[in-house]
């Protein structure tokens, strides 16, 4: 059967380095670090005392107080980023067939802080079970796409994808395929996460996954640097409006880029560690390229998963040559997590936005905080260290890998009618 083309017609972002897409992009190309001491709770007894929190975010600037109190922060972030993307896409809700508009949203954890606070409240009480009546709907990951659909009257496909840090990239791939196969004309797709909480920092500290560079938070996220010591936890949300090409053209929509492929794979190796030979990473990039029906030599830029962990960065870097061969040395490679931190289930969405804007703006954001060469990583690779680089970008790839060995990869192409 003939698959329909899918284009991106709207973007929304709420990130530690900018609360809108333009602010986020300026933060990226200027190499701004979003890391700072934690303000949400007293972290003085934790191994890690910093994170990439949102700056100046007040949910009541975007929704009434009554509604905001019914939602965990991750769902608030979903509302804000999707509102921006829907507005950016200029979708006329009164004239649109809302039976043909769906929402597919990713979250690796969902309402972590809600669950944490309810349990802490019960434990500190007199034994009488008193729980917030909204505890369950605030906690479940699928409430985010549910609320987006309720807010806008979208009656198309609606569900959440959960694959740890690959969750929102999975959502984008599902959105691609639902439109390709004719099940929807528009999919509101992306992800959100709010893991900067007592249990989030404590849990990742217990795994020895987080950087403990408390004396210098802004340089703590340093992908591919020899002295990296773990990732920096981030939060926020990102949204892409995916649309059938013919539908977009008919309504005269602005088109950012074409979504040409998505790949999935599993490491089938370990709960939290990547396969040391990068087998899953190799396979997911190959699957994505095959799905897009392009040559590997067409790819110009890759926004890597690049979390700043010892094992993960080496495995992913090793995988690149197996996929791209000598072409690798003519590409730009970067990790925007060096600036935003790791947004877990929302990472794929905001990093896809960075890839799209690399195409439209002809600029590759940097991998900041690089100071020391790692002998395990090929130094002929252009990791776009420390400052943005201008270049013509026709095809951009974005990688996301999650605990459990989940791998997802998406490919965007410069739009040509």
DSSP 8-state secondary structure symbol assigned to residue 54: -
- What are residue 117's phi and psi, to 5 degrees? -70, -35
∠ CA 231-233-237, nearest 5°, is 125
What's the confidence (pLDDT) of residue 125? 82
Q: Is the pLDDT of residue 206 over 80?
A: yes
Task: Tell me whether residue 257 is in a domain.
Answer: no
What's the confidence (pLDDT) of residue 6? 98
pTM score, two decimals?
A: 0.97
What's the confidence (pLDDT) of residue 126? 75
CB neighbours of residue 413 within 10 Å: 20
- d(CA 13, CA 307) in angstroms, rounded, equals 20
Whether residue 7 contacts residue 89, with contact meaning beta carbons closer than 8 Å, is answered with no
| Residues 236 and 278 occupy one common structural domain | no
Report the pLDDT averaged over residues 192-203.
Answer: 98
Task: Tell me whether residue 404 is in a domain.
Answer: yes
Task: Tell me whether residue 21 is in a domain.
Answer: yes
Q: Which of 227, 250, 273 is the last residue of a domain?
A: 250
Nearest to residue 158, comparing CAs of 225, 102, 214, 197? 102
Q: Which of 194, 219, 250 is the last residue of a domain?
A: 250
| Residues 221 and 304 occupy one common structural domain | no
Task: Tell me whether residue 99 is in a domain.
Answer: yes
Whether residue 106 contacts residue 171, with contact meaning beta carbons closer than 8 Å, is answered with yes
| Residues 167 and 289 occupy one common structural domain | no
Q: In what order do the strands lie in the sheet with 235-244?
A: 158-161, 101-106, 186-194, 235-244, 6-14, 257-266, 406-414, 395-402, 301-303, 332-334
| Residues 292 and 334 occupy one common structural domain | yes
| Residues 174 and 40 occupy one common structural domain | yes
DSSP track, 201-266: HHHHHHTT-B---TT-GGG---TT-TT---B-BBEEEEEEEEEEHHHHHHTT----EEEEEEEEEE
**What are the pLDDT digits (tens) for 332-347?**
999 999 999 999 999 9
Q: Is the pLDDT of residue 363 over 90?
A: yes
Task: Tell me whether residue 324 is in a domain.
Answer: yes
Q: Which of 250, 280, 299 is the last residue of a domain?
A: 250
Q: How is residue 31 written in tokens? A: 């190499």
What's the confidence (pLDDT) of residue 317? 95
Torsion of CA 200, 204, 206, 212, to 10 degrees: -110
Task: Tell me whether residue 374 is in a domain.
Answer: yes
Mean pLDDT of the chain: 97
What's the confidence (pLDDT) of residue 128? 83
Task: Enumerate the active-site residues.
Answer: 165, 305, 342
Q: Quick check: helix, strand or coil at residue 273?
A: coil
Task: Give percent above pLDDT 70 in the chain.
Answer: 100
| Residues 283 and 181 occupy one common structural domain | no
| Residues 93 and 23 occupy one common structural domain | yes
* The pairing of beta strand 6-14 with beta strand 257-266: antiparallel
Whether residue 309 contacts residue 230, with contact meaning beta carbons closer than 8 Å, is answered with yes
H/E element holding 159?
A: strand 158-161
Distance of CA 348 to the CA centre of its chain: 3
Q: How is residue 284 written in tokens? A: 């997911």
| Residues 117 and 179 occupy one common structural domain | yes
Q: Within the chain, how many helices (H) and strands (E) appear?
A: 13, 14
Q: What's the domain count of the chain?
A: 2
CATH number for the domain including 206?
Answer: 3.40.47.10
Task: Tell me whether residue 23 is in a domain.
Answer: yes
What's the confidence (pLDDT) of residue 15? 98
Report the pLDDT averaged over residues 232-241.
Answer: 98
- d(CA 95, CA 320) in angstroms, rounded, equals 46
Task: Tell me whether residue 256 is in a domain.
Answer: no
**What are the pLDDT digits (tens) for 38-94?**
999 999 999 999 999 999 999 999 999 999 999 999 999 999 999 999 999 999 999
- d(CA 344, CA 194) in angstroms, rounded, equals 9
Report the pLDDT averaged over residues 316-340.
Answer: 97
What's the confidence (pLDDT) of residue 127? 75
Range of the domain at 343: 262-414
Q: Is the pLDDT of residue 1 over 80?
A: no
Whether residue 372 contacts residue 264, with contact meaning beta carbons closer than 8 Å, is answered with no
| Residues 100 and 153 occupy one common structural domain | yes
| Residues 311 and 406 occupy one common structural domain | yes
What's the confidence (pLDDT) of residue 293? 97
**What are the pLDDT digits (tens) for 366-384?**
999 999 999 999 999 999 9
| Residues 291 and 381 occupy one common structural domain | yes
| Residues 96 and 75 occupy one common structural domain | yes
* The pairing of beta strand 101-106 with beta strand 158-161: parallel
Label residue 280 by pLDDT band (50, 70, 90): very high
């Amino acid at each position: 059967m003939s698959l329909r083309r899918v284009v991106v017609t709207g973007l929304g972002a709420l990130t530690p380095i900018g609360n809108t897409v333009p602010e986020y992009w300026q933060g990226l190309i200027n190499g701004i670090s979003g890391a700072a001491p934690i303000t949400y709770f007293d972290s003085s007894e934790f191994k890690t005392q910093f994170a990439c929190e949102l700056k100046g975010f007040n949910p009541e600037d975007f929704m009434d107080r009554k509604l905001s109190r019914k939602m965990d922060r991750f769902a608030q972030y979903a509302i804000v980023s999707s509102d921006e993307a829907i507005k950016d896409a200029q979708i006329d809700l009164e004239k649109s067939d809302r039976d043909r508009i769906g929402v597919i949203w990713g979250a690796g954890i969902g309402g972590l802080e809600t669950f944490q606070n309810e349990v802490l409240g019960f434990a500190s009480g007199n034994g009488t079970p008193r729980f917030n009546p909204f505890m369950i709907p605030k906690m479940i990951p699928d409430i985010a796409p549910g609320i987006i659909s309720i807010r806008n009257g979208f009656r198309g496909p609606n569900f959440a994808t959960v694959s740890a840090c690959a969750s929102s990239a999975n959502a984008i791939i599902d959105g691609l395929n639902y439109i390709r196969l004719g099940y929807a004309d528009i999919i509101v797709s992306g992800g959100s996460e709010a893991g900067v909480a007592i249990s989030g920092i404590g849990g990742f500290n217990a795994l020895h996954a987080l950087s403990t560079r408390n004396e210098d938070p802004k340089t703590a996220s340093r992908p591919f640097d020899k002295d990296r010591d773990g990732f920096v936890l981030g939060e926020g949300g990102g949204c892409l409006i995916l649309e059938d090409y013919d539908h977009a053209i008919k309504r005269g929509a602005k088109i950012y880029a074409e979504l040409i492929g998505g790949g999935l794979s599993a490491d089938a190796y370990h709960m939290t560690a990547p396969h040391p030979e990068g087998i899953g990473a190799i396979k997911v990039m190959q699957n994505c390229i095959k799905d897009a029906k392009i040559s590997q030599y067409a790819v110009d830029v890759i926004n890597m998963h690049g979390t700043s962990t010892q094992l993960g960065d080496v495995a992913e870097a090793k995988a690149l040559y197996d996929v791209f061969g000598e072409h690798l040395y003519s590409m730009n490679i970067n990790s925007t997590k060096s600036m935003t931190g790791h947004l877990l289930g929302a990472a794929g969405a905001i990093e896809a936005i960075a890839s799209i804007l690399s195409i439209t703006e002809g600029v590759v954001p940097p991998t900041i905080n690089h100071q020391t060469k790692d002998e395990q990583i090929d130094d002929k690779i252009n990791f776009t260290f420390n400052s943005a680089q201008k270049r013509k970008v026709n095809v951009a790839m974005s990688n996301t890998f999650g605990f459990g060995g989940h791998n997802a990869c998406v490919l965007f192409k410069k739009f040509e009618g």
